[in-house]
Amino acid sequence: VQLQASGGGMVQAGDSLRLSCAASGRTFSFYVMGWFRQAPGKEREFVAAISRSGERLLYTDSVKGRFTISRDNAKNTVYLQMNSLKPEDSAVYFCAASSSGNSDRYWSARWNYDGWGQGTQVTVSS
């Protein structure tokens, strides 16, 4: 699967952004989809994931209540709505696709994903 992320930008603390990730190739609904982020000098970290049907959602604690992951299987797209952004949210955001079928206990693991997008930069100023 090929993934193309977009929607990043420079915003102020408290603002919102919506990231999109368009997929092409194999059937989109076959994949669990995730968002990760990587700040300068830090490892890539899990942000959120969504099941194939969109019914099961998973978030890292630091974004719960502020970020919402969703998907539109008809449009082959996964979204990350980010509200109440903080400077510590600044990073390159990557979408990822998993065909493994693993339990959601593994959704936060980078190794679980076999397709990655190119990343989109999010910068939040204070």
- 94-123: buried (b, 16+ CB within 10 Å) or exposed (e) per residue? bbbbbbeeeeeeebbeeebbebbbebbebe
Using DSSP, state whether 55 is helix, strand or coil: coil
pLDDT at residue 38, as a whole number: 98
* pLDDT, tens only, 9-43: 999 999 999 999 999 987 899 999 999 999 999 99
* pLDDT of 104 strictly over 80: yes
* pLDDT of 117 strictly over 90: yes
Cα 4–Cα 32–Cα 91 angle in degrees, nearest 5? 50
Predicted confidence band at 101 (pLDDT cuts at 50, 70, 90)?
confident
* pLDDT, tens only, 48-88: 999 999 999 999 999 999 999 999 999 999 999 999 999 99
Cα separation, 34 vs 47, in Å, equals 8
pLDDT at residue 110, as a whole number: 96
Locate 115 and state its tokens. Answer: 């397709």
